[in-house]
Amino acid sequence: MTESNIKLIKIILLAFLLVWIVFTLFPLYFQLITSLKPVAEINAMVPTFWPETFRPGNYLGIFADPGSLKSLMDSLIVSISNTILSLLLGTLAGYALARYLKGIVGENLAFWILSNRMFPPVAVIIPMFFLFDATPWGTDSYVSLILLYLVFNLPLATWLMMVFFRDAPRELEEASYLDGYTPLKTFFKITLPLVFPGMISVAMLCWIFAWNEYLFANLLTGTTVKTFPVHIPSFTQGSQTLWNLVMAFSMVAMIPPVGMFIILRRYMVRGLSLGVVKG
């Protein structure tokens, strides 16, 4: 392969990448400009790709409805509580699976736990509804929604944490035993810091699932608790959907996950064990 050939391939690949970026970013761009348009312009037959009239006021308009702010708060309560619980239980279970349940039993158990993620969630909607209806909290409550999301997040968290713990060098724990720490203290002092980047990644995944979930939230809750995905369809005027407000609200709802990702990214990309063993 000659030098010029390599250059040509580079250019072709870059061009492909450019097309791909435009393709993926366009919906986001369209969402942004729609959120800034007046209703009339949205409904125009020929869509505009740059707003003819800017309406930044849309962003204030969404908060005229007090339900908007409450739905964001509800979403935060549910997703944060769920993330904390998933991480706590998933970390402990993952450690147990990684260190104490080896061999056929451990492998099967771990796989069975993950298999909970494999059935389509819709399949369990009806049983779940009756199940939570029978609890003291009823269906329309924070507790129910948090517990329900655990059903989906916990297997993933457990599985991923198990993988991270397996990658953490066993020798560091053994060194700590010999330093005089009991297994429990070693877990908190040595092992957890090692899998910390993994925990951040798991937390992000759990949080994003709980933040964006619509199907179950719509069916189980709606009055006492109303998360933001359930709140979005309420931006209507008669039979007309106010797309500019829907888009503006969606933009606002995107801020927490994007912001969090930017803040936590540096923890996620850091390697697991940073040259622990040898040099």
Partner 1 sequence: MVHLELNKICKGFDHPVIDRLSLKVDKGEFFVIVGPSGIGKTTLLRCIAGLEKLDEGEIFIEGDNVTNVPPYNRNVAMTFESYALYPHMTVFENIANPLKALKKEDSLIRSRVYEIAELLHIDGLLERKPHEISGGQKQRTALGRTLAAHPRVFLLDEPISHLDAKIRAELRTQFHTLEALREVSTVYVTHDYAEALSLGDRIGVMGNGGLVQIGTAHEIYEKPNSLFVAQHLGQPSINSLEIDLIEEAEKPSAIAGSLKLPVDLNHWEHLKRKNITKCTLGIRPQFVKVVNGDQSSEDNSLELNGMVEVYEALGAYGVMITSVVGQKLTVLTDPEDKYDHDENIIIRIDPSTFNYFDLNNGVNLIP
CA nearest to 225, candidates 145, 279, 158, 160: 145
Backbone angles phi, psi at 182, to 5 degrees: -70, 165
Q: Report yes or no: 163 and 132 within 8 Å, Cβ to Cβ.
A: no
Backbone angles phi, psi at 240, to 5 degrees: -95, 130
Q: Please classify residue 266 by burial: count the beta carbons closer than 10 Å to its beta carbon, then call 0-12 exposed, 13-18 middle and 19+ buried.
A: exposed
Q: Please classify residue 19 by burial: count the beta carbons closer than 10 Å to its beta carbon, then call 0-12 exposed, 13-18 middle and 19+ buried.
A: exposed
Site string for partner 1, 182-211 (x = CB under 8 A): xx-x----x--xx-x---------------
The nearer residue to partner 1, 153 or 176, going by C-beta atoms, is 176
Shortest separation between residue 116's beta carbon and partner 1, angstroms: 33
103: contact with partner 1 by CB under 8 A: no
* Contact pick of 181, 209, 243, 267 for partner 1 (by CB under 8 A): 181
The nearer residue to partner 1, 39 or 172, going by C-beta atoms, is 172
107: contact with partner 1 by CB under 8 A: no
> 155-189 as b/e, with b when 16 or more CB fall inside 10 Å?
bbbbbbbbebbeebeeebbeebeeeebeeeebbee
**C-alpha–C-alpha distance, residues 221 and 237, integer Å:** 23
Q: Which stretch binds partner 1 (CB under 8 A): 9-17, 56-64, 101-109, 177-185?
A: 177-185
Shortest separation between residue 159's beta carbon and partner 1, angstroms: 24
- Binding-site size, partner 1 (CB under 8 A): 25
269: contact with partner 1 by CB under 8 A: no
Q: Per CB under 8 A, which of residues 216..235 are in contact with partner 1?
A: none
Task: Report helix, strand or coil for 191.
Answer: helix
27: contact with partner 1 by CB under 8 A: no
**C-alpha–C-alpha distance, residues 42 and 51, integer Å:** 9
* Contact pick of 172, 208, 252, 260 for partner 1 (by CB under 8 A): 172
* Contact pick of 92, 174, 233, 261 for partner 1 (by CB under 8 A): 174
72: contact with partner 1 by CB under 8 A: no
The nearer residue to partner 1, 121 or 169, going by C-beta atoms, is 169
Shortest separation between residue 122's beta carbon and partner 1, angstroms: 43
**C-alpha–C-alpha distance, residues 152 and 128, integer Å:** 12
104: contact with partner 1 by CB under 8 A: no
The nearer residue to partner 1, 74 or 173, going by C-beta atoms, is 173
270: contact with partner 1 by CB under 8 A: no
Give the residue ranges of DSSP H helices in the chain: 3-35, 39-42, 58-61, 66-99, 103-115, 125-133, 142-167, 170-179, 183-186, 192-212, 215-220, 228-231, 243-269
Site string for partner 1, 116-155 (x = CB under 8 A): ----------------------------------------
Residues found near partner 1 in the complex (CB under 8 A)? 169, 171-172, 174-183, 185, 190, 193-194, 196, 273-279
